[in-house]
A and B are shown apart, each in its own frame.
Chain A
Amino acid sequence: MDAIVNLTNNSIDFFKTVVEFAPKFIPGVILTLQLAFFSIILGMIIGLVVAVLKLTKYKWLKKVMDVYITIVRGTPLLLQLYFIFYGLPSLGIMIDSFPSAIIALALHNGAYISEIFRGSIESIDYGQREAARSLGMTKWQAMKRVVLPQAFKRSVPALGNQFIIAVKDSSLASVITITETMLLARQFGAATFNVFPIYFTAGVYYLIITMGLTKILSIVEQKLKVNER
């Protein structure tokens, strides 16, 4: 009997804490959304540029891009964040925490997204490029008008994956003093010692964001599929 009363009281406390702290997370959630949004948009631009540069005939450009991808993929994101925020100032380059986080996350996502784009660009039938070129298009026109639109469509499922990773990776920005969702959770937890409901709330916010993103992506995917058999 005691055990049941205890459990009931505990769950009431639990939900009380959740309800109390849920609104307090909003500023952090907004920061999480901002970090994710900018790192995804910039990551896409970086990814596209890197993927296209890697396919040009200039070998040295390809080498440079390979070095970038190797460094970003081969080191932890945590280290990259520390490097930009705490490391660069010793070289005289001072960047505020928020732009530092955006730069680190965008460069990180950009490397992965460039490989997604490269894969889907290379998957487009070579006959498409030949048909475009035989109409008299330049290489760049063929890329822009014929190859990239098709490649982009093919890359949507893999991009969706990367976007979700980007949302979750934004939590690492907490280590460079950005009070996004995870850092708030840590602060609230330390202040109240009521860790479980607080991390639970943070988890729900992340799930809402990633599930929303998944939904948006599946709508985009459906829209793009229209002209296929």
Chain B
Amino acid sequence: MSFMQEEKRPGKKKIKTTRVVNGLDVEEEVWVDDLEAPLFKPREECRLLGTRMKRVDGPAKLTGAAEYTSDVRLEGMLYAKVLLCPFGRAKVKIDAAPALASKGCVHARQLVDETKYLGQPVAVVAAATPELAEDALRALVVEYEPLPWVLDRGQALAEGAPEVRSRGNLGRPTEDGDAGEVEAAFAQCAVVVEQEYSVPVQHHVCLETHGTVVDYRGGEDAIVYCSTQSTHGIVGDAAESLGLRKAQVRGIVQHMGGGFGSKFGLERAGTLACEISREQKRPVHLMWNREAEFLTSGNRTGAWQRVKAGANKDGRMLAMSSDVERYGGIGGGSHAGLPYLYSVEKSLRKHASVYMHLDTNCAMRAPGHPQASFAMESVVDELAAGLGMDAVEFRKRNLNSPAHLRQLDRVAELIGWNEHPNRTAPGSVDGFEAVGIGFGCSRWGVGGSPVCQVDVRVMNDGSVTAEVGSQDLGTGTRTYLAAIVAEELGRPLDGVQARLGDSRMGNANGSGGSTTTPSLAPAVQDAARQMRGVLSVAAAEHFGCAPEEVVLDPDGARAPGGKLTWLELCALLPPEGASVRGTWQSDLAVSGVACTQAARVRVDLLTGRVKVEKMVCLQECGRPLNRLALESQIRGAMTQALSYALLEERRVDPQLGIALSADLETYKIAGSLEIPEFVALVDDDDLREGVAGVGEPPVIPGAGAIANAVFNACGVRLRHLPLTPDKVLNAIEERKSS
């Protein structure tokens, strides 16, 4: 009958814990909070979570103490550099002997006989200093036999064009939807728009280039420092390139200077560094130079999007057909598909890749989404304008999510839409300048990964660590790692040391899809809650009370039997301290976050220059952990969207077969003079208990919002990014003359 007597306590459960009694490990059951759902404390009770916390690695980054991969200096280290093919495509013959004979050079070799894309690395050298490595590159005697290339759509699809891949330069289209149904739906429409929209190839422009430093001197162990988004993800490739077993390789990523989706593996720079290190039995430092970063480290897919869409007189979108070409170089490209986000009753879509002799696309902050969003937000705006309907109202009639509906109202208010004169018809091109407002929305799936293992340890001198082999891309991972533990144990933020970026620590997923926070934070909370249980048991034993009667707060521990300071409490622990491992908790990760943005622009009607004056973003993120870092990330996303809208474009000369924008002189990104007033808001109407990452969603809708604002200002519709003054001025002149 014992199970009948099993006590039940709401919100609590029994766990087994190990305690040392008289020097012996004793396993016993204790009551703890129900770890099935180790929820965060209620928002209003939190001292740290949800507040504005300065990032814990701030001083290191501000004083130059933070060590990035490029900063690693090792005894006897070689500097390696690569030579890039300056042609669209070529056969390559290299005499490396003069390079090998040059001062300080110990390694020089050809990498390929025939290149596949513009800028492909064709040779690698390694020498004692960076300068000597550059000398060695210059000493290579290179013969190129240029081969016919295709660097733009026209060249790729021309008859008899050289083939990028054996199955032709036009990929097999994927289609879905019922043409007949869509045609019938178009017949019901009061307004139909049929237009073409394009977006250029965008570069990630990580300020720290792709690169790796390998610490290997022969023997059985190697340390691989890598600028990567996946500390655990590089170990396998590094082991293979070094000829070692995975267990012999340790990956280190203490700080990394930007990834934005382009740094998931060891990448080419890393495998080359490992190969040279293996041969030379010396440490090797190989960071891409800026040109290689532009030409051979991935990019955001460009796209051409032919779209036809229609709405009835009530402003409901009834029909859409789209034909999208993706430009991902030698890769297939990515595109999220149309209709994007909005609900359209009947739709038909066709997608195809056009292949060219250019560097492959790769993931970039919301891969495929900004492209689709730009076309969709533009079409939505054109339909609203066609009906003479308020752009906000039109959106609300075609969005299903309640979050977007409330966000649109709030954002409209904050950008000044309700007082704006051009709500149902755009301004004119007369005069010197015009002011307009535009909108855009996005949604992101988020969700967490169950692989995370976070270790929390409390030593008997009161020191606390939280560690996991994840990485901080600049989003503030270290800070919330420490904060979650500090919150649960009643410690100050600086009372917990967060450690990460080491593959010998607990497992973690690569940082992609905005999943780092919803993967890690639940596992940290799980570990923190377990540790609270362990400490509560220790205190309970001391006080002779039940563990759940113990409260941990900034003063230490208190219970009906008395009080302990933090140091006194920790002194109760055995000499080796206490250690727990937390795992992912699905209840603490949310999936699906909504974002809404608005932009206000001033268009100079005489020069065509577009100045973004203000951007507002309202972003759902479930339970906000650190508002300061969240706001920074949201502003950063808006900055990149603004940059995509107005400035950025990968350019090549298809005739000469050369790159025209492979440096920061010719490839412009937003600088301090472009930055508008940003209003970055965490959506506090999102009351879900779980957390979400917001790296991706706020980068999606900005470009559409800005283009819509230009239309709203002066009635010219710009359908091809970036919105450079020449395009704007041409459109203004066209409208003036029509």
Same complex origin of A and B: no
**Residues of chain A whose beta carbon lies under 8 Å from any beta carbon of chain B:** none
